[in-house]
Amino acid sequence: MAVMGAFHFNEGIPISNSLLLLLLLLLLPAYVSPPLSLPIKPPPFRHSFHKLPHSQNYPLSNPSPAPPLLLLFLLHSGSGTMEHSSLSLLFHLLTLATYVSARPATFLQDFRITWADSHIKQLQGGTAIQLTLDQSSGCGFASKSQYLFGRVSMKIKLIPGDSAGTVTAFYLNSNTDRIRDELDFEFLGNRTGHPYTVQTNVYTRGKGDREQRVNLWFDPAADFHTYSILWNHYHAVFFVDEVPIRVFKNNEARGIPFPKSQPMGVYSTLWEADDWATRGGLEKIDWSKAPFYAYYEDFDIEGCAKPGPESCASNPNNWWEAPAYRQLSAIQARKYRWVRVNHMIYDYCTDKSRYPVTPPECTAGI
Domain ranges of the chain: 13-97, 107-363
Amino acid of residue 185: F
Phi-psi region of 175 (alpha: psi -120 to 50; beta: other; left: phi over 0): left
Mean pLDDT of 303-322: 94
Per-residue pLDDT tens digits for 103-141: 345 788 889 999 999 999 999 999 999 999 999 999 999
Q: 99: how many CB neighbours lie within 10 A of its CB? A: 20
13 contact partners, CB below 8 Å, separation of at least 6: none
pLDDT at 35: 35
d(CA 229, CA 46): 15
pTM over 0.85: no
Between residues 305 and 93, which one has the greater pLDDT?
305
d(CA 176, CA 139): 21
Amino acid of residue 9: F
Comparing 80-84, 180-184, 340-344, the range with the smallest average pLDDT is 80-84
pLDDT at 269: 98
Q: CATH classification of 107-363, choosing from 2.60.120.200, 3.30.300.350, 3.40.50.300, 3.30.479.30? A: 2.60.120.200
At residue 177 the predicted structure's pLDDT band, cuts being 50, 70 and 90, is confident
d(CA 38, CA 82): 23
Mean pLDDT of 8-23: 45
Mean pLDDT of 171-195: 95
Rounded to 5 degrees, φ, ψ at 159 are -65, 125
At residue 17 the predicted structure's pLDDT band, cuts being 50, 70 and 90, is low
Instruction: Give the residue numbers annotated as catalytic, written as ranges.
Output: 182, 186
Whether residue 94 is predicted with pLDDT greater than 80 in this model: the reply is no
pLDDT at 105: 57
SS3 content of the chain, % helix, strand, coil (to 5): 25, 35, 45
Whether residue 350 is predicted with pLDDT greater than 80 in this model: the reply is yes
Mean pLDDT of 85-110: 48
Comparing 74-78, 133-137, 140-144, 219-223, the range with the smallest average pLDDT is 74-78
Whether residue 73 is predicted with pLDDT greater than 50 in this model: the reply is no
Mean pLDDT of 157-186: 96
Intra-chain end-to-end CA distance of the chain, in Å: 45
